[in-house]
Amino acid sequence: MKLVKGRRKASPPGRSGIDRLHDDALHLVLEQLFPYDLDDLLMVSRVCRRLYLEAVPWIYRHVKIDFSMRSHIRLLSRLAQGGTEIPRYIRMVRILPTNEWDTQELANLYTFFSKLTHLEELLWNNVASIPPFLLAILCVKLPKARLNLQASALGTLPLFRGFDNHLAMHQLTRFSLFRLDLTVSLLEFKIHLVNLIVGSPALSTFDIVIDSMEASADCPNLTYSMLRRKLPQLKRLRLSAPEPIFRPEELALWGLQAGWDELKYLTLGCESELAVFIGMVPKLHCLKLAPRYFRNSQLLEQDLDTELGAPLGPVQKLEYSARVGDVNGLVPWYLLKKMSDTVEELDIAHFAFSGRSPEFDPPTEDDVRRIRALCPYLHTLALDVRFDKGNIRQHVLDELALFEDPITLKIYLHRPNMKDRNWSRSDALDCYFAWKSMIKVRRARNLPITSTRRVDFKVVRPWEKLEEEYMDVDFFCQLEEGSDRHGEVYFPYATSTYHCTPERQNLMSQLSADGLKKLRKQLYKQKAGRFLMRRSREVMKTNVTLEAVEKQRQRNEYNKRAEAAFGTGFTLYDKCACSWTLDVNYARCSHAEIQDLFPPQCPSRMKRKHEREELCTWCRTGDRSLGLSSGGSEDGESGDESDEDENDLGRRETENGVGAQCPADIGRIDVGSSGGEGKGGIIWAEIKWSEDGDEKNDTKDPGMARVGRPGSKAVTPIQSPHRKGSCTYMALKRRLSSIAASTKHTKKPRCR
């Protein structure tokens, strides 16, 4: 049988590790990755085809369409095309419309929503006017989808046209109008608003914030319209307007229908409206009051006193921002008396203003002492502290220091007549001294100081500059965890991007979550190091970290000890490790101690770009200590009887008056010695550097060297000793220690 030659059939490739995984396992992995970082999810989808197919449902799970961006409009047209299965993966759609609609955009929007089969939530932003065909699709094809409307304008269409009485209002869960300029009459606006409330039984969040509105004689009463159906049970309610929108009878009727039984967050712009909620909010967690106009609180205080127990429920967070000049004061004492056993967070600060800084009397030390007595479980306190000519009121800080741990203090710094002012280094210094004074008060009274105590500082500025970062602090102080020294202060700047440069903001936007955390930690250390070294004599042009500050402190301690013990010195300039001086007696130091004092950097790795010179320095040793002097002259004298300063290594005078300066960047050190027993031995070091970093000697005579200033043409030849070698810093250390111990030199250093 004859074998026929042919190609061998290729065997199928083996299955990889990913192919052997079950679909449910990959589904769980992508499910954990989806809520945290979409970029990582996109990178995973590019690994292989199977991961791409598994990641597509998660990539398109949440879709955002902004009609002011062309890329989003192209995405909408692609999703509206036939043959794609992406719409069935979408669970949430966020729409940001504009006031003007295009016919093609409306057609693509209708086609896109017609393909959705598993939509769970629709977020509609910017304009409070939804096209009628979308409402029809929601109530007919997607009856289980939630409708969330957040807007800051009513749109060009008539107010809530086809919206307030539509069947799709049964799916409305949130209705929010923020910073609205109401141009229609209050009666017309309120009629549509009440119809919306009555027709939305699933409504849980209701926010109305109106900046300006037309003045009206009286608020219309629409209780008869609210009796038609059962009103929704809210979890969040926010009412803030120049004039009350709802009458007390209407709010009371809403509460009688169990409308406030599930209420947890309440924000009001009028104190008189709070009387309606007394005894009707059993689950209230957060209460915020920001009165826009003055009201007498005596009637409200009487209503609170008549109610037993907790009239406003177990409130844990209280925010009160009184108007400047309010006769009732800046602290709501009548509320704290009823919430003293439950309140844990108290905010009575005025963090924003328009124009000049408000001139008001901040809480005094008596107020702080009273707050500490009324609220024993307080762990967060925010208040105003006024600066008078750069000085913080010390009595207020002393009372703040007596709060029990754990606690976080948020101090808002006000300066009188301050206009359009940013934070500065002086503000950081004032905050630092305020923190230190609080620590001293606790130590004086033997109170514990733990890392759970933190103080945040924020400089109050106009609202135009605080609008994007009003939640971020400018500085904060906290004890460093794991510190060896008691009371070590960790005082970095805050992480707000308001003060970052555009380049740093671009870098931070490109980093992942872990990379951003590492960058912030690095910035913390650098800024803290610069803050601690601001009064240093040297100008630190590089980024200084806390480790560099600690090393500099240790070197200064070495220098002080050496200066106190010995009279002679050895000066070495090493730019890589900063300028520092070592004053030691090598006859009394061990070899290990000398190695610890010298910098570990190898000088052969350092380069100098623009200069190329050679420098020969001479030094001599005495019977008891090692001294350094100028060495040699043109006629070959060794310089033993020179009258120059023995402590000057870097500078010397030549015959033509040119002084030689020890270079900052050195490339190589050549060491030799001369002398014998009973005489002053001569140590010399030939320091070389070159542009390309090569270790070579330009002098033709190995017994000659040159002295000169880097960059100068005047060079004086000097006769070198009879022994010569080449070594690095470690060899130089060993050589110096051996000569200091004994003037007799018997061994030549090993060359490299």
Tens digit of each residue's pLDDT (9 = 90 or more) over 316-371: 999 988 766 565 667 888 888 888 889 999 999 876 555 555 556 678 889 999 99
pLDDT tens track for 692-725: 333 333 333 333 333 333 333 333 333 333 333 4
450, pLDDT greater than 90: no
Domain boundaries along the sequence of the chain = 603-741
Task: Look at 153-167, 340-354, 601-615 and tell me which has the smallest mean pLDDT.
Answer: 601-615
Q: Are 642 and 629 contacting, i.e. CB atoms less than 8 angstroms apart? A: yes
Residue 559's pLDDT is what? 65
Helix 38-45 and helix 23-33, axial crossing angle in degrees, nearest 10? 150
Cross-strand pairs, 391: 388
The whole model's pTM is what? 0.61
Give how far Cα 29 sits from Cα of 17, 355, 464, Å. 15, 53, 44
Binning pLDDT at 50, 70 and 90, where does residue 155 land? low
Residue 430's pLDDT is what? 74
Query: Alpha-carbon distance 627 to 644, whole Å?
Result: 12
Most confident segment among 180-194, 483-497, 588-602: 180-194
Residue 716's pLDDT is what? 34
**Rounded mean pLDDT, 386-413:** 81
Binning pLDDT at 50, 70 and 90, where does residue 312 land? confident
Taking all residues of the chain, what is their mean pLDDT, rounded to a whole number?
67
Residue 422's pLDDT is what? 54
Task: Look at 59-68, 133-142, 601-610, 734-743 and tell me which has the smallest mean pLDDT.
Answer: 601-610
CA angle 477, 479, 480 (to 5 degrees): 115
For residue 724, the Cα-to-chain-centroid distance in whole angstroms is 57
- Residue 409 carries which side chain, given as an amino acid letter? L
Residue 4's pLDDT is what? 52
pLDDT tens track for 367-384: 999 999 999 999 999 998
Contacts of 702 (CB under 8 A, 6+ apart): 720, 724
563, pLDDT greater than 90: no
Residue 726's pLDDT is what? 38
Binning pLDDT at 50, 70 and 90, where does residue 296 land? low
Residue 615's pLDDT is what? 31
Phi, psi dihedral angles at 670 (to 5 degrees): -105, 130
Binning pLDDT at 50, 70 and 90, where does residue 262 land? very high
Q: What percentage of the chain's residues is helix, strand, coil (to nearest 5)?
A: 30, 20, 50
Task: Look at 68-82, 473-487, 493-507, 510-524 and tell me which has the smallest mean pLDDT.
Answer: 493-507
Torsion angle of alpha carbons 340, 341, 342, 347, nearest 10°? 20
- Percent of the chain beyond pLDDT 70? 52
Spatial strand order in the sheet of 614-621: 626-628, 614-621, 682-688, 668-674
Q: Are 660 and 615 contacting, i.e. CB atoms less than 8 angstroms apart? A: yes
Residue 418's pLDDT is what? 56
Residue 18's pLDDT is what? 66
For residue 324, the Cα-to-chain-centroid distance in whole angstroms is 32
- Residue 239 carries which side chain, given as an amino acid letter? L
Residue 680's pLDDT is what? 35
Residue with the larger pLDDT of the pair 552 and 253? 253
474, pLDDT greater than 80: no
Q: Are 437 and 394 contacting, i.e. CB atoms less than 8 angstroms apart? A: yes
- Residue 461 carries which side chain, given as an amino acid letter? R
Residue with the larger pLDDT of the pair 217 and 240? 240
| Other CB atoms within 10 Å distance of the CB of residue 42 | 12
Residue 494's pLDDT is what? 36
649, pLDDT greater than 50: no
DSSP-assigned letters across all residues of 649-665: SS--B-TTSPBP---SS
Query: Alpha-carbon distance 382 to 319, whole Å?
Result: 9
Residue 462 parent element (H or E): none
Residue with the larger pLDDT of the pair 418 and 337? 337
Phi, psi dihedral angles at 392 (to 5 degrees): -85, 145
Binning pLDDT at 50, 70 and 90, where does residue 414 land? confident
User: What secondary structure letter does DSSP report for 280?
Assistant: S
Residue 696's pLDDT is what? 38
C-alpha R_g of the chain: 39
504, pLDDT greater than 90: no
Residue with the larger pLDDT of the pair 606 and 200? 200
Q: Which two tokens stand for residue 277?
A: 């909620």
Binning pLDDT at 50, 70 and 90, where does residue 500 land? very low
